[in-house]
Structure 1
Amino acid sequence: MIVQTGGEITRETFWQIGPLAKGMFYFLSVVALLVFIYGVYERLARYTEGEPDPRNRLDGFASRVVNAVRIVGSNEKQFNRDLYGGLMHTFVMWGFLVLLIGTTILFVDMDFYRPLTGESFWVGDFYLAYALVLDAFGLLFVVGLGMAMYRRYVVRNERLFGPHTSIEDDAFVWVLFLLGVGGFLVQGIGMVGQEARAAETVSFVGVFTATLLEAGGLTPAGAAVIYPIVWWHHSILALVFVAWIPYAKPFHMLSSFANVAARDEKAGRVLPNVPADLDATNAESIDDFTWKELLDQDACTKCGRCSAVCPAKASGRPLDPRDVILDLKGYRAEVDAGAGNKPIIADGGASVIDSETMESCMACMACMDACPVEIEHLSSFTRMNRQLTDQGDVDANVQDVFQNVMQKGNTFGEPQRKRADWADDLEFELTDAREEGVEYLWYVGDYPSFDDRNKRVARSLARLFDQAGVSFGILFDDERYDGNDVRRVGEEFLYLELAGHHVETFEDCVFERIVCTDPHSYNTMKNEYPEVDFAEFADDPMMPFEYDERWNTEGEIEVLHWTQAVENLVREGRLGLSGDELDYTVTYHDPCHLGRYNDEYEAPRELVRATGCELSEMPRNRADSFCCGGGGGGIWMEFDEEPKPSEERLREALEDTAAGGGVEKFVVACPMCMTMYEDGRKTGGYEDDIEVVDVAELLIEAVETK
C-alpha cells in the first residue's frame, strides 16, 4: 500500500508475500543469475576457440562502445527501409531497458541503501516519477510486442520465416509479452487490494487495469487472495527468462550490442588478407572462422532483412544470406555436441553449405547494409569461397577466367598487346604513362579494353579528358586485370600477384592521381591494395614482383572513379556545358562498388544533370540499389534464375519510376553493369523500350552537341 515514510509517499514492496516466500524468491533469483552467468561464460569461451581476427576489433574501445550505444540506442538500422519495424523494436527495446533499470533501482534501494542508511530514496517525488516512467515505458513495451505479434501471426511477413524458424522464436515474443502484461496485472491487482493506492494516479496503466478488474467484480479481499499467485507466476517467468537468455534467441540482446561495438568500418569493401603461412586453412572446420565470425552467427536475430534485399535470392538463386549464417551456427552446435562431421563447403550437397550457394553471391553488400546488428556476411562468404578454391571446386567458367588471368593478364584471354587497341579509332594518340609524366594515370580496365560495347565508353571518356585539356596516360600492356572479383570468388594469391604487379608499375610512373573506369577497380585500388603487406610475399618465387613495402597507406596518392574526376572538370567549366544540351528523360543505376562500397552517389548524378537530362529515380536507388548480377564473379557464371537481376532492374526502370515508360535511357557508370544490362535488354525483351548508356556517353554527346 502507499504508506507515509518520514512524511513522504511510497508503497510496500512485498505486499502479501511472507518472509519464507521472500527468502525463496531471493534464492531462486541467485540460481537464475548463476545460470545466466555460466551461460554467458560458455558463449565467451567458445569464441576463444575461433581463429584470431585479422582486424583489431578492440582498438579505441571507449569510442567503439559510445558509437555502439548511439547506434543501438537510436535503433537507426532498424528504421532503415522499415518504419514499422523501427518503431516496434524501439518500443520493445526501450521498454525492456527502462523496466530493467526500474527493477535495478528498486533492488539497490531495498537491499543496499535501506539496510546501510535506514532510509529509502524510493519515496516522494522520486517514487511518483518512477511510477509514471515505468508505466509509460511498460505500455510501450507491450504495444511493441503487440506490433511484433501482429506482424508475425496476422500479416505473416514472409521474411520472418525460413528453415531456421522454430519454437524459440514464438517463445521469445510470447514470454516477453506475458511479462509485460503480467507486470500490469500484478500492479492492477495490488491497487485494487490496497485502498491507499487509489491516489497513485500517476500509474495510469495500473489505474486503468485496476478499474477494469473492479468492473469485473474483483474486491479488495479477493485481490489479497490472488495477488501472491499472480505475483509468483510473474516472478518465476521473469527468472526463467533471465536464466534462458544465454541459451537461445534472447542472447541477441547481448551479442548484437557486442557485434555492433566490434564492427569493422571497412568490412566488405576491404576483405581480410590471407596469411602468408601456406599451411593455414580457410574453412575446413568451424573453428577456422574467427571469433568475430562466430559472434556474427550468435548476433543474427533471424529478422530476414538481409534476405529481403538479396538480389540472388530475389532471382531464385540458392542463396539466402540469413540461412547461410544460421546454417553455420547450427553446425557449430552440432560440433559442440560431438555430432558434427561434415565439410563446411563442397560441391554436391554433403556439406554444411553447398558450393552453388556461395557461387550465387554477387558481393553487392546489400545484406551487410541492411543488417541491423552489423553482421559481416562477406567475410564469412569469402572465407568459404577461398576454401572452394583450395579444394578445386570452383565453377568451371570461373576456373577458365583464372587461367586467362594467369596466362594472359586479363579475364578475356586476349593477348596483352591488344590491350590498347580500343583507342585505334581516336583522333589523337594516347600518352604512355610509363614514359611520360601525367596528371591522370588512367586505369582503363578489362571490359573497356576488350569488350566491344564498353570500348565505346572508353573512347567517350578519352575524348572527355582530351576535351577538358587533361594530361592523362595509360599503362598499355603493363595494365592487367585489377583482381577485385577473382578475390571475391576466393582466388587470393592471384589477386596478390596482380596487386603486386600494379603497385610496382605505379612506382615507376610519374602522375598526380589514379583514375579508374570501373568501380570494381576503383574499390580495390583505393581500399585493398594499401592493406597488403607486400613484404610477406616479395621473396616468394611464385610472386612476379619484388616490391616489399606497403603502398599508399596514408592515401598520399588519390584514387578516383572517373565520375569524381570529371565532376571536378565540369565544375571548373572545362567541358563548356551549360546544362541544357540534352533533353532525354533518364534513370540512373547506382553500381554497388561505387555506391554501397564507397558512398559515392552524387558525382554521377551531377554529371547526368549537367547534360540537361531529366533524371527520374528508381524506387531502389543509392544505398538501396539493386545489383545488376555481375558482381562476385557473377558476370562469368551461368545461373538458372528467373528473372535475371538485370531484367528485374530494367522492369523497375520502366514500370516503377515516376516517369514510367517515358524513361528513354538507362544510365550506368560501370562496365560490368553495362554488360549485364545489355544482356538483360535482350533476354528480357526490352530492346525496343529503353537504351543502356554510360554517363560518359551522355556527357560526350552533350559536349559534341554544344
Structure 2
Amino acid sequence: MILPLQAGTVTRETFWLVGPVGKAVFYFLAALAVVLFLYGVYDRFARYARGPDDAFERLDDLPGRVASAASTVLSNRNQFDRDLYGGLMHTFIMWGFLTLLIGTTILGIDMDGYRLVTGLLGEEQSFFVGDFYLSYSLIMDALGFLFVVGLGMAIYRRHVVRTDRLWGRHTSLEDGGFVWVLFFLGVGGYLLEGLRILATGFPSFETVSFVGWFVADALRAAGVSQSLATALYPAAWWSHSLLALGFVAWVPYAKPFHMISSFANVVTRDEKAGVRLPGVPADAAPDEIGFTEVEDMSWRQRLDHDACTKCGRCSSVCPAKAAGRPLDPRNVILDLKNYRESVDAGGETKDIVADGGTSVIDSRTMESCMSCMACMDACPVDIEHVPQFTEMNRRLTEMGEMDDNVQETMMDVFQQGNSFGDPERKRPDWVEALDFEVPDARDQEVEYLWYVGDYPSYDERNRRVARSLATILEHSGVSYGILYEDEQNDGNDVRRVGEEGLYEMLAEDNAAAFEACEFEKLVCTDPHSYNTFENEYPELDGVEWNAEGEIDVHHYTQVVQELAETGRIDLSGTELDYTVTYHDPCHLGRMNDEFEAPRDLIRRTGCTLDEMPRNRANSFCCGGGGGGLWMDFDEEPKPSEERLREALEDTDAGSGVEKFVVACPMCMTMYEDGRKTGNFEEEIEVVGLSELLAEAIEAGGRTGPNSGTGTDSTAGTAPADD
C-alpha cells in the first residue's frame, strides 16, 4: 500500500488527520447529499414530464443538439455577447468549477475505484502519485484560481458596482448566497491546501500548487506555526467538506439548478422560436386557447422558467421597459415560475393573465410587448419569451380584453383586409401617380410576385416608398407584378397580438391568391410580411403554403441587391454624398439574419454609412411591432425618439447624420412620428432605402430597360404632412 506521506512519495493523503470514524461519517454525509441531489433533479424533471407536449419538436437529432449545446455553453459565446466583462467572469467561473468537479471525480476514482480494485486483486495501488499528481495539482491550482477570480468579479459587479440589471423584485438572498457559497468553497480550498503544506513542512514538490504555497507562506508570515496548522487542519477540512456537501444537496432546490436546467434549455431550443409561433389546435375550445392554467404550459415552457438565472439581460435590452411601459421580460418569466411552483405546492389558483390586477400577469404588461425578440436574442440560456407572451395575448383575445385600438384595427382587417379600414378597391390606388403601368400578376406570368403590404398601399408617406420600389423594378427590366385588390394583410402582427383565428383566415386568403398566380419568387416590401410568409405560412395547418420551399421568399433589399450584383441595376459611380445611418428592422435583421444587403445597397449609392451604436442583432426596436403601431402608451421617451436621438448624438458622425435610412414601412411610420414628437424635424430626414436607391438611379441619369419616372418616386423630398 502506498502511504502518501512517506518520505520521498510525491503525493498527499486525502483523509489526512480525519481518521476512520471521520471518514465513515464523511461517506455517510456524501451519500446523503447525493441522494438529496438525485431526488431533487428527478422531482424537477418529473414536473416537466407532467406538462403537455410542446408545439415543436425538441428532441429530434438529440446527439446533434447536445453537441451544439455543448459548443455554445463551453465557449460561453452567449455570455460574451455585448458583455466582455460578463463573458470573462462566467468563463472563469464555469471552467474553474468544471475543473474542480472533474478533479474531485478523479480523486474519487482513485480512492474508491482504483485502490479498491487493486487491493482486491492483491496489492493496493494509487495513480495519484508522481508526475500525475504534480500535473493534477498544477492544473487544479491554476483553474481554481480563475474560479475564485471569476467569483470575485461577480461579487464586485453585484455588490460594489450594483449593476442595475442584477437587481429587481425577484432578487433574493439565494442570488447573492449562490455566489458567496462558491466563493467560500474556492477560497476555503486554498486555505485548506495552505494549512496542509505548512503543517507538512513545505514539501518541495508542492511548489506546483502555487496558490496553496502562497497561502502557506502567508499563514507562516502571519504567525501560524507548523503545529498550529496541524491543529487547525481538521476543523478547516470539515468546514470545507460540509459546505461542499451542503452545496451538492442544495443544487436542485434553488438557483444553482440553473447549471443543469440552462444546459437542458439550450439543448431543447427551437432555432426559429418567436420567428414562427405555435398554432392553436383546430379542436381547441375558446376557453382552452392561450394560458388558462398551469397545466397549459408545455414541458419546455416550464423548463424555460427554471433556466432563468435572473441575469436581467432580457430586461436591459427591452424597448418596452426602456420606454416606461409596464413590461419587464424577466419579471414575467419569474412571475410565471413562482405561480407554477405555488400551484404545484397546493397554493391558490387564479387567472394567469387578465385586466384588473388580480391575475399573475396584467393585460397591459402583455400589450406592451413589441415582439421584437430583443429579449430572446440577449438571453444567454435561450429562454423563449415571445411565444409565451403570445399565448397570454391569445387568452386576452378570447376573454375580450384586447386593447380598444387594437380591437378596432382587427375589425378593420376582418372587414376590409387591411389595418386602415379602407375599401379593398383602394389598395392599388398608389400606382396611379406613376407614369408607367405596374403589371397585374393575376393576369400574366411573372418572375417576381411583389407583395406590397398595407402601409405602402394605404399610408401616404409609405406610398412614396412603394412608388420608388416600383421605379427600381421597372428600371431593372425584371418581370414583376402585384395582386392589386386581391392582396390582404399579411397577418404577422395580427397573430402576435393574439388574433390567431383572424391570422389563419388571412393566411388562407393570401395563400389562395398566391396559388392563383404563376411566379417564381415572392418579394415583400415589409419585413413583417417577409417573416410570416417565409417562416409561418409553410407550417400553418390547413394552409402549408410553400411547405416544400419551392418558391423563394425575399425582402426587397435582397432582390435589389441581387439585381445590382448581376448588372440589371447599374449604380456604379453614383455619388449621392449624404452621411446616413441605417436602422436594422427587427423582422429583417434580428429575426431573419439579413444585415448586409441593405448596407451594400446604401454603399452603392455613394452615401457615407455611419453605423448606429446598437446595430444588426442588437438593433433597438422602433416601437411598432407586436401591435405597438396601433396602441397608445404613455412613453418617455418613445422608442422612435430614443433611436433618432441615438442617431444624432451617439453615432461617430453625430449631428452630421443627414438621413435616417429604414427598410420597413412600419419603421417609417414610427420614425416620422418620432421626428415630430421628439422635435427632430429640422435635424434629420427619414427615408426609405428604396427612395434612396431611386434617387441614386435618377441622379445617375440611367434609364434602364423599362425605366419610368413616377411622381414622388424618389427620395430627397420632405415628408408629406399626413
Q: 1:617 aligns with which of 595, 611, 619?
A: 611
Residue 243 to residue 372, structure 1, CA distance change in 2 (3 Å): same
What root-mean-square deviation, in Å, do the aligned CA atoms of Structure 1 and Structure 2 show? 1.2
Q: Tell me: CA distance 1:4–1:212, structure 2 relative to 1, closer, same or farther (3 Å).
A: closer
Answer whether contact 1:441 1:515 (CA < 8 A) is retained.
Answer: yes
How far the C-alpha of 1:120 sits from its partner, in A, is: 1.1
Tell me which of 127, 135, 146 is aligned to 2:133: 127
User: Distance in 1 between the 2:69 and 2:7 partners?
Assistant: 43
Partners of 2:606 and 2:587 lie apart in 1 by 26
CA contact (8 A) 2:451 2:522 kept: yes
Return the alpha-carbon distance in structure 2 between the equivalents of residues 301 and 198 of structure 1: 44
For 2:513, the aligned partner's letter is: T
Q: CA deviation at 1:7?
A: 7.4
1:691 equivalent in structure 2: 685
What is the distance in 2 between the residues matched to 1:23 and 1:654?
70
Alignment of 1:244-643 (within 5 A): 244-279=250-285, 280-534=288-542, 550-643=544-637
**Equivalent AA in structure 1 for residue 684 of structure 2:** I
Cα distance between partner residues in 1 of 2:182 and 2:136: 21
| 1:197-212 alignment, distance < 5 Å | 197-212=203-218
1:192 aligns with 2:198: yes
1:92 aligns with 2:100: no
CA distance in 2, matches of 1:70, 1:556: 33
State how far apart, in whole Å, the 2-side matches of 1:681 and 1:286 are.
44
The equivalences for 1:71-82 within 5 A come to 71-82=72-83
- Cα distance in 2, alignment partners of residues 33 and 277 from structure 1: 45
Contact kept, 8 Å, 2:276 with 2:536, in 1: the verdict is: yes
1: distance between equivalents of 2:283 and 2:196?
67
Mapped partners of 1:636, 1:343: distance in 2: 26
Contact 2:574 2:699 in 1 (8 A): no
Residue-pair matches, total:
692
Q: Which residue of 2 aligns with 1:671?
A: 665
For structure 2, which runs of at least 5 residues remain unmatched after alignment?
Answer: 119-123, 701-722
Distance across 2 between alignment mates of 1:431 and 1:223: 91
**Aligned residue in 1 for 2:644:** 650
Cα deviation digits, residues 354-381 of structure 1 (max 9, x gap):
0000100000010000000000101111
**Equivalents in 1 of 2:426, 2:221: separation in Å?**
89
Q: Is the 8 A contact 2:134 2:205 kept in 1?
A: no
Note the C-alpha offset of 1:570.
1.0
Q: Which residue of 2 aligns with 1:46?
A: 47
Counterparts of 1:167 and 1:160 in 2: how far apart (Å)? Answer: 13
Structure 1 unpaired stretches of 5+: 535-548
Quote how far apart the aligned CAs of 1:2 are: 8.6
The 2-side partners of 1:432 and 1:43 are apart by: 58
TM-superposed deviation, 1:666: 0.4
Which deviates the most, 573-582 or 483-492? 573-582
- Write out per-residue CA displacement over residues 297-342 of structure 1, whole angstroms, 9 at most, x where no aligned residue: 0000000001110000000000010010001011112112222321
Alignment of 1:101-116 (within 5 A): 101-116=102-117
Rounded to whole Å, the distance in 2 between the matches of 1:85 and 1:300 is 16
Alignment counterpart, residue 229 of structure 1, candidates 224, 235, 253: 235
Choose 237-246 or 118-127, whichever is displaced more: 118-127
Instruction: Name the counterpart of 1:540.
Output: none
CA distance, structure 1, for counterparts of residue 642 and residue 505 of structure 2: 36
Separation of aligned partners in 2, 1:317 and 1:249: 28
Query: Displacement, 1:552?
Result: 1.4
Shift in Å at residue 9 of structure 1? 1.9
- In 2: Cα distance, 1:4 partner to 1:160 partner: 47
Distance verdict in 2 for CA 1:463–1:673, change over 3 Å:
same
Distance 2:371 2:682 in 1: 31
Q: Is the 8 A contact 1:416 1:477 kept in 2?
A: yes
- The one-character-per-residue Cα deviations of 1:246-267 (angstroms, maximum 9, x if unpaired) are 0100000000000000000011
Distance 1:577 1:281, change over 3 A: closer
1-structure distance, mates of 2:289, 2:455: 33
Equivalents in 1 of 2:663, 2:176: separation in Å?
A: 46
CA apart distance, 1:477: 1.1
Task: Indicate conservation of the 8 Å contact 1:519/1:593, yes or no.
Answer: yes
Q: CA deviation at 1:170?
A: 1.3
Counterpart amino acid of residue 418 in structure 2: N
2:221 counterpart (203, 215, 233): 215
Deviation at 1:199, TM superposition (A): 2.9
Q: Distance in 2 between matches of 1:197 and 1:277?
A: 75
Distance 1:698 1:459 in 2: 12
Structure 1 residues 590-618: Cα deviation after superposition (integer angstroms, max 9, x where no partner) = 00000001000010111111111100111
Counterparts of 2:478 and 2:83, CA distance in 1: 45
| Secondary structure, counterpart of 2:447 in structure 1 | strand
Rounded to whole Å, the distance in 2 between the matches of 1:321 and 1:493 is: 26
What residue is the counterpart of 1:541 in the other structure?
A: none
> How much identity, in percent, do the aligned residues show?
65
Aligned position for 1:11: 12
What TM-score results when the alignment is normalised by the length of structure 2? Answer: 0.95
Task: For 1:508 and 1:130, locate their aligned partners in 2 and report how far apart those are by CA, in whole Å.
Answer: 71
Residue identity opposite 2:345 in structure 1: A
Give the TM-score normalised by structure 1: 0.97
Superposed CA deviations along residues 84-106 of structure 1, whole A, max 9, x for unmatched, are 00000000011001000000000
Residues 489 and 51 of structure 1: CA distance in aligned 2, closer, same or farther (over 3 Å) = same
Which residue of structure 2 lines up, in the alignment, with residue 543 of structure 1? none
Q: Displacement of 1:6 after TM fit?
A: 12
- Deviation digits for residues 209-263 of structure 1 (CA, Å, limit 9, x no counterpart): 0000111111121111111101000000011110000010000000000000000
Query: How far off is 1:493 after superposition?
Result: 1.1
Divergent runs of 4+, >4 A: 4-8
Q: Deviation at 1:122?
A: 1.1
CA contact 1:438–1:473 (8 Å) conserved in 2: yes
Deviation at 1:281, TM superposition (A): 3.4
Q: Is 1:150 the equivalent of 2:156? A: yes
Q: State the one-letter code of the partner of 2:319.
A: P
* AA partner of residue 42 (structure 2): Y
Measure how far apart 1:5 and its partner are. 7.9
Residue 704 (str. 1) matches residue 698 (str. 2): yes
Shift, 1:278, TM fit = 2.2
Question: Does 1:57 find its partner at 2:63?
Answer: no
SS in 2 for 1:128: helix
Residues in 1 aligned to 2:298 and 2:236: alpha-carbon distance in whole angstroms: 46
Q: Distance in 2 between matches of 1:71 and 1:324?
A: 25
Which whole-Å CA distance do the structure 2 matches of 1:464 and 1:188 have between them? 75
CA distance in structure 1 between the partners assigned to 2:96 and 2:573 by the alignment:
53
Q: Write the distance in 2 (CA, Å) between the matches of 1:50 and 1:647.
A: 43
* In structure 1, C-alpha distance between the alignment counterparts of 2:46 and 2:573, rounded to whole Å: 62
**Secondary structure in 2 aligned to 1:439?**
strand
Give secondary structure in 1 for the equivalent of 2:181: helix
Check whether the contact 2:289–2:394 (CA below 8 A) recurs between aligned residues. no
